[in-house]
Homo-oligomer: A and B are copies of this chain.
Amino acid sequence: MTKSLYGKTADGKEVFSFTIKNESGAEIELLNYGATLNKISVPDRNGDFADVLVGFDTMEGQLSCTDSQGRTVGRVANRISGNGITIDGKNYRITKNIDGKFTLHGNHEYENAVWNYEILGDDSVKFSYFSADGNEGFPSNLQNEVTFTFTDKNEVKIHYDCRPDGKTPINVTNHSYFNLGGYASGNILSHEMQIFAKYFTPMNEDSIPTGEIRSVENTPFDFRIPKKIGRDVSSPDEQLIIGRGYDHNFCLENYTGALREFAMVYDPESGRKMTCYTDLPGVQFYIGNYMDGSQIGKGKFPLTHRSGFCLETQYYPNALNNPDFIQNLFDENHPFVSDTVYRFSAE
């Protein structure tokens, strides 16, 4: 574990970098700015290391970030429709940060905060952030803790513990963009993706779920058997057109509330493989359709179209406006406690 000053925010708050190196020489970097997972350096099949996270390597870059690279997103990741949320008959309007129409990522409240930190040991850092009652329109105070651990088995473990003092929706996630070839290796369309989901949630033109639960069968959304991300991405499918590619919630199988594998990604070029686990019912699979090269990332490489993919563990988006979805409503007796694991290997 090494800790060093990374930079300062516009209002002068100190941002620190935390690097955890394991016994094999693999390492991750964390920032208390946005409780960010900023780097994952793991070996390919020849033992050569590369950083598989697309993002930024300077404080200036972090401050220019608009697409949530590596950040902890909350209080409610993904979209909430413009009508806000209604709890016990009372409507709460949530900040509409997208064209004044709807909410994305809770207006980035968590991502732009400098979190408190606590080094828990050689392999683990806990970040904490207090979100006040009323922030972005959400009811109830909410104390958040996100703990990152990097194991000798090249597992990145993320533990969320978010405790409100009254009813409020919570859907905290990590928004890392992965490229198993390394951040500078081009687009991710040749990665092989497997997602254990028989259903997904189609969305409207604002990328908000319509409420339908649709079978993936005979659609480009069938990743039950591994296939290249790019294989069907250009199909003339209405949902792919709306999302400009994959940007959809998948309904993960075997939801019990316990951790289980939900996806496997393999890069045939490097041999790197990522196996993914969550205890939540859904995941947003996004492939950087809105990345256009206009932002400059690590090593001064531009963040080009589809140069990273995301697997954001979650409750289905906008669930409080879709009563048939599992409801991500929590309270003082029922905290949001969740685990995500990304495990890296090579073959």
A256 with B199: CB separation less than 8 A: no
Residues on the B chain within 8 Å of A328, using CB: 256
A323 with B256: CB separation less than 8 A: no
Q: Is A255 an interface residue (CB 8 A)?
A: yes
Q: Is A208 an interface residue (CB 8 A)?
A: no
By a beta-carbon cutoff of 8 Å, the part of chain A in contact with chain B is 196, 198-199, 213, 251, 253-258, 281, 323-324, 326-331, 334
Contact of A258 among B196, B251, B258, B334 (CB under 8 A): B334
**DSSP class of A's interface residues: helix, strand, loop or mixed?**
loop
A323 with B257: CB separation less than 8 A: no
Nearest Cβ in chain B — how far from A167, in angstroms?
9
**With A213-B213, A329-B258: A253-B334 Cβ-Cβ less than 8 Å:** no
A256 with B326: CB separation less than 8 A: yes
Residues on the B chain within 8 Å of A330, using CB: 256
Nearest Cβ in chain B — how far from A13, in angstroms?
36
Contact of A324 among B251, B256, B323, B326 (CB under 8 A): B251
Question: CA A334 – CA B259 in complex, angstroms?
Answer: 12
B213 with A327: CB separation less than 8 A: no
Contact of A257 among B199, B324, B334 (CB under 8 A): B334
Nearest Cβ in chain B — how far from A229, in angstroms?
23
Q: List 7 A-B contacts (CB under 8 A).
A: A198-B324, A253-B323, A253-B324, A254-B327, A255-B327, A256-B329, A256-B334
Residues on the B chain within 8 Å of A327, using CB: 254-256
Question: CA A251 – CA B325 in complex, angstroms?
Answer: 10
Closest to A324 in B: B198
Residues on the B chain within 8 Å of A257, using CB: 334
Question: CA A258 – CA B329 in complex, angstroms?
Answer: 9
Question: CA A198 – CA B253 in complex, angstroms?
Answer: 21
Nearest Cβ in chain B — how far from A253, in angstroms?
4
